[in-house]
Amino acid sequence: MMKIKSKKSIAFLMSAIFIMSLFIVGGSALAQEDENVIKIGAVYPLSGSTAQNGETQRKAHEFAQKKINQAGGIEALDGAKIEMVYADSQSKPEVGIAEAERLITQENVVALMGTFESHVGLAVQDVAEKYGVPFIVCNALSDIFVEKDMDYTFKTVINLSQIGEDSVNFARKTAEANGDSDEVKTAAMLYGDFHFGHEVARFWKEYLPKKGFEIVADVAYPVPAKDMYDSILKLKSAKPDVLFSLGNISDSTLIMQTMKELNYYPEYAMIGVGGGFTESTFFDNVGDLAEGLYMVNDWLPKINMEGAQELNSEFKEEYGREMTGNANSTYAAMWVLKDALERAGSTDGDELRIALENTDITSGPVTFMYNRVKFDEHGMNISAQNVVGQVQDGEKVVVWPEDKAIAEPVWPVPDWQERK
């Protein structure tokens, strides 16, 4: 008797859920038959372990969308408003492909942006190319994006290889500037077993010897990490002069905390790269443990660029976090797209592509980050450049290169006991 009742109730429940969702989807589909709107598709990991990073990018898009629309939308298209359409990649390329196809064929987006994770982005890139829809890579770093022969890909964010090179160069140059280049001889690498981790590690292994560093520890940690004690203990016994590290938000947080708990700090400096070490959430969680940490990224709040601080404050007021962790390159890319739409005066894929190819921006909202946005023949932004910053008194200040620096690097970075 119980069985019959429950069967009826499941049937009911399931149909209820189905019908509900149909209504909601149907409802939103109807809402789309709007007036003058230009849709831009964005594919990000919005669920799973990298959802936090996806959410950060979403905020950057929303921020830009708001400002662009407030400033009148796309004038060349009768003030059409920008509307972002987001899709979850679940960190899987096959899902990225499906969502990219859906955004292009069902939602009719004029361009795709994303995807934070390179292995997803490289799959999305093929889809965009097939349909002739411009794909603006604004927060996925792999060099492969611009090594493939693609007409519709435009990358505003730095290449991964630059991270490897710049981080090592910086360490050597700063040691030289401080006169202790002879003592700074050893380096250690601490990275996670994920795509970005292995790729950067490859570049580090190549560059470190070239700049006079002996690699005394090559420590890869499993992701997600349960515990960092063993990794940090390995570093402690290897005693590197400079530590090069990367990780997701969770890993980076654990790294920092474990270093404090095990009472370990590298002899001279710790250089962190990638999403984990620059995301707001990381800083929220580690607090003043991050003091002295060097970060390599496209942009940091305290930078010698026009309008940077103001923009950061505005973003912080709106979203309660600073515009770090690739939110900056994403925001800037929105304006680059806007600029191209204005010059193209059309949403046609090819015309937009040509407009993007002819991009040459030297003023306007992107100057907080780029001196000049121009794409080379491979679709790479020529002014995409790393800066190196350091956490000084809780502020993320740029210390390199000189023209963008606000402060001098503190080198060597004091040990835990020597701090207040």
Applying CB under 8 A, does 129 fall inside the site for other proteins?
no
The least distance separating other proteins from the CB of residue 306, rounded to whole angstroms, comes to 31
Give the residue with the Cβ less far from other proteins, 96 or 409.
96
The least distance separating other proteins from the CB of residue 205, rounded to whole angstroms, comes to 11
Check if the beta carbon of residue 129 is closer than 8 Å to that of residue 141.
Answer: no
Applying CB under 8 A, does 21 fall inside the site for other proteins?
yes
The least distance separating other proteins from the CB of residue 138, rounded to whole angstroms, comes to 17
The least distance separating other proteins from the CB of residue 101, rounded to whole angstroms, comes to 4
Give the residue with the Cβ less far from other proteins, 14 or 76.
14
CA dihedral of 250, 135, 358, 38, whole degrees rounded to 10: -110
Q: H helices of 228-326, where?
A: 229-238, 249-261, 275-278, 280-286, 308-319
Q: H helices of 138-210, where?
A: 144-147, 160-177, 195-210
* Cα of 418 vs its chain's centroid, Å: 33
The least distance separating other proteins from the CB of residue 93, rounded to whole angstroms, comes to 5
The least distance separating other proteins from the CB of residue 187, rounded to whole angstroms, comes to 17
The least distance separating other proteins from the CB of residue 238, rounded to whole angstroms, comes to 10
Among candidate residues 295, 382, 373, the one with its CA nearest the CA of residue 332: 373
Residue of the chain from 99, 143, 166, 241 that contacts other proteins (CB under 8 A): 99
Applying CB under 8 A, does 72 fall inside the site for other proteins?
no
Q: Which residue has the tokens 């921020």?
A: 63
What are the residues facing 187 on neighbouring strands? 215, 242
Applying CB under 8 A, does 108 fall inside the site for other proteins?
no
Give the residue with the Cβ less far from other proteins, 124 or 398.
124
Cis-peptide into 409, omega within 30 deg: no
The least distance separating other proteins from the CB of residue 219, rounded to whole angstroms, comes to 6
Q: Which positions from 161 through 190 interact with other proteins, judged by CB under 8 A? A: none
Give the residue with the Cβ less far from other proteins, 246 or 397.
246
Name 159's Cβ contacts closer than 8 Å, sequence gap at least 6. 141, 142, 143, 146, 380, 384
Give the residue with the Cβ less far from other proteins, 72 or 287.
287
Residue 222: CB atoms within 10 A of its CB come to 12
The least distance separating other proteins from the CB of residue 11, rounded to whole angstroms, comes to 9
Residue of the chain from 37, 55, 169, 364 that contacts other proteins (CB under 8 A): 55
Residue window 220-239: x/- pattern of binding to other proteins, with contact defined by CB under 8 A:
xxx-xxxx-xxx-xx-xx--
Give the residue with the Cβ less far from other proteins, 66 or 198.
198
Applying CB under 8 A, does 47 fall inside the site for other proteins?
yes
Counting beta carbons within 10 angstroms of the beta carbon of residue 259, is it exposed (0 to 12), middle (13 to 18) or buried (19 or more)? Answer: buried
Residue 182: CB atoms within 10 A of its CB come to 9
Q: Which residue has the tokens 């964005």?
A: 42
The least distance separating other proteins from the CB of residue 318, rounded to whole angstroms, comes to 16
Among candidate residues 103, 39, 42, the one with its CA nearest the CA of residue 327: 42
Residue 160: CB atoms within 10 A of its CB come to 23
Applying CB under 8 A, does 372 fall inside the site for other proteins?
no
Give the residue with the Cβ less far from other proteins, 136 or 399.
136
Residue of the chain from 186, 245, 250, 329 that contacts other proteins (CB under 8 A): 250
Applying CB under 8 A, does 86 fall inside the site for other proteins?
yes
Phi/psi of residue 373, each to 5°?
-95, 115
Applying CB under 8 A, does 117 fall inside the site for other proteins?
no
Total chain residues near other proteins (CB under 8 A): 74
Can you tell me the distance from the alpha carbon of 312 to that of 12, in angstroms, rounded to the nearest whole number? 51
Q: Which positions from 273 through 332 interact with other proteins, judged by CB under 8 A? A: 281, 284-285, 287, 289
Applying CB under 8 A, does 92 fall inside the site for other proteins?
yes
